[in-house]
Amino acid sequence: MKRALIAAVVGVMTFGSVYGLAASLNLATDSLGAAQTTVAACQAGQLTATYTSTYSSTLPGYQVGTVTVTGLASTCYSKAYKVTLLGAGGTSLGEATGTTPSTGTTFAATFSAVSAASVTGVGVVVSG
């Protein structure tokens, strides 16, 4: 069951989001779909996800602490989000969940002890 859930989440992130290989990510889609069903996105505009890395002597090495997502439209206010840091082969290195703000265009997701060297992509899903 857990594997099926993980596969479904990875599938949604793969087909519903466009993810990059660096510290910057542009996500643009008007809708996401599977088979013949299309689900409207809460916004047509582009989201941008960025992260900074800081040195950690406990890792040791650089780690990702916060991913900042900008470009949020008012149609996506107060909706559930999940931000996933992806590693080789699309494996999840860590997830942060929360609710988008009720005002503004930016929100941040916090991670703990994820090696920046292992991050190959970022997935962002806003739902609800």
pLDDT at 117 over 90: yes
pLDDT digits (tens, 9 = 90+) for 53-108: 899 888 889 999 999 999 999 999 999 999 999 999 999 999 999 999 999 999 99
pLDDT digits (tens, 9 = 90+) for 35-65: 233 445 898 888 899 998 899 888 889 999 9
At residue 37, the pLDDT reads: 37
pLDDT at 24 over 90: no
pLDDT at 4 over 60: no
CB atoms within 10 A of CB 114: 22
Q: Enumerate the β-bridge partners of residue 97.
A: 82
The alpha carbon of residue 61 and the mean position of all alpha carbons in its chain are separated, in whole angstroms, by 22
d(CA 31, CA 76): 13
